[in-house]
Structure 1
Amino acid sequence: MAKQIIKPYFSNWANMEKLVPTEQKSKYLAFRSRYETYLRRVRSLPESPPKIDWERYKKLLPDENIVNKMKSSYEAFQVPFPEDTQTRLIEEQWTNLEPEIKAFCEDIQKDIDEAQKELARIKTLPNFSDMTMEMFGDSYPDLALDSVNKPTFWPHTPQDQLGYKITEAELYSQDDK
């Protein structure tokens, strides 16, 4: 009976182990050990309960009705096995989440592609030690200092320039300090 009830739920431990973060390995190995111990213990049990020799008991006991009652009660007894109501719900959740996961993966893949393009562009730039201010200005026009069109005062931060006005957010952040 035990072999009919239990089936190995986890079959591909190698793939599962790849998904486990390194800081969780000890918990994963403990879980796997407990699971395999439980599975071995259940599989070691016989498939059906042992047969009872009712005739032998009838001979040993003075009243056969006691044995007949016990036999009918024993045969009528059914071990209640819980009905699985959660697997269906989990599968429904999974089918609802799959499109979201695919959309998320596509968005992330777009970000990865953009990052790889940026890395390829950065690799084409000369080394930092070989780059001049003019080269930097050509590569990053929005970040480079333009002393002809937009001259600035040292240290070239917005707060140190003429005509700078403090915003409310900066004003409140200065009060906290």
Structure 2
Amino acid sequence: MAGRRVTKSAVNWAAMLERVHPKQQGNFIAFKAKSDVYLRRVLANPESLPKIDWAFYKKTVPVAGMADAFQKQYESMKIPYPPDTATALVEAQEKQVMEEVKKFVQDSNARITDFQKELDHINSLLPIDQMTMEDYKDSYPELALDSEKRPTFWPHTPEEQPGMEKRDETAGH
């Protein structure tokens, strides 16, 4: 990637904007504007060093060999382009994240299947407003009153049930 000239953005800004929260879209648009300004500034500069008419300078410069020395130095000049050390890290991170996303999607699909089964079961029952107490007990045995296994007495608070100690109302006064 070193030495390659960037001529246009590789970012799909429209797809990215769709994923930005509506409250953050102003910040995103400002960021895109800064990116566009930077890209225009880069593109305003020439891709390579400007060509110099050395023959003209060799004829007009009175010091012998000076234009030749400048030409040699100019043509041997290499502007260093920073090495790309981040792409491999980003690609590795992207691969890891994509695996996590794939696992999350699989887990979510499994949960959706379970929830759909539960929803189908609930939809197969009578509506609660049409149920009798017996229907409710058959449909929701863990929630229904069971006077044989779990009897409760009015006012049906835990403190009023058999086997519970009464709180001392005067304690702490």
Partner of 1:141: 141
Comparing 76-85 with 39-48, greater Cα deviation is found at: 39-48
The structural deviation recorded for 1:128 is 4.6
The structural deviation recorded for 1:150 is 1.7
Question: Over residues 6-47 of structure 1, what are the superposed CA-to-partner deviations in whole Å (9 max), with x where a residue is unaligned?
Answer: 154534333222222223222222222222232233234333
- For the residue of structure 1 that corresponds to 2:52, the secondary structure is coil
Structure 2: distance between partners of 1:68 and 1:159: 105
**Which letter does structure 1 place at the counterpart of 2:116?**
Q
**Which letter does structure 1 place at the counterpart of 2:94?**
W
Partner of 2:79: 79
The structural deviation recorded for 1:152 is 0.8
Partner of 2:162: 162
How many aligned positions are there? 163
Partner of 1:36: 36
- For the residue of structure 2 that corresponds to 1:64, the secondary structure is coil
Change (3 A) 1:106 1:39: same
The structural deviation recorded for 1:107 is 1.1
The answer to whether structure 1 residue 108 and structure 2 residue 105 are counterparts is no
Question: Over residues 62-104 of structure 1, what are the superposed CA-to-partner deviations in whole Å (9 max), with x where a residue is unaligned?
Answer: 2133322222221111110011122112222333444333222
Partner of 1:117: 117
1:22-101 mapped onto 2 (5 Å cutoff): 22-101=22-101
**Contact 2:128–2:136 (Cα < 8 Å) also in 1:** no
**Which letter does structure 1 place at the counterpart of 2:74?**
Y
Q: TM-score, normalised by structure 2?
A: 0.74
RMSD over aligned CA atoms reads 2.8
**Contact 1:153–1:161 (Cα < 8 Å) also in 2:** yes
Change (3 A) 1:52 1:129: same
**Contact 1:4–1:47 (Cα < 8 Å) also in 2:** no
**Which letter does structure 2 place at the counterpart of 1:29?**
I
Structure 1: distance between partners of 2:58 and 2:106: 74
The structural deviation recorded for 1:160 is 4.5
Question: Over residues 95-152 of structure 1, what are the superposed CA-to-partner deviations in whole Å (9 max), with x where a residue is unaligned?
Answer: 3444333222211111122222333333444445444443332221101121243211
Q: Which runs of 4+ in 1 moved over 6 A?
A: none
- For the residue of structure 1 that corresponds to 2:100, the secondary structure is helix
**Contact 2:5–2:47 (Cα < 8 Å) also in 1:** no
**Which letter does structure 1 place at the counterpart of 2:13?**
W
Unmatched tracts of structure 2, length 5 or more: 166-173
Change (3 A) 1:58 1:84: same
Partner of 1:169: none
**Which letter does structure 2 place at the counterpart of 1:16?**
M
Unmatched tracts of structure 1, length 5 or more: 166-177
The structural deviation recorded for 1:48 is 2.3
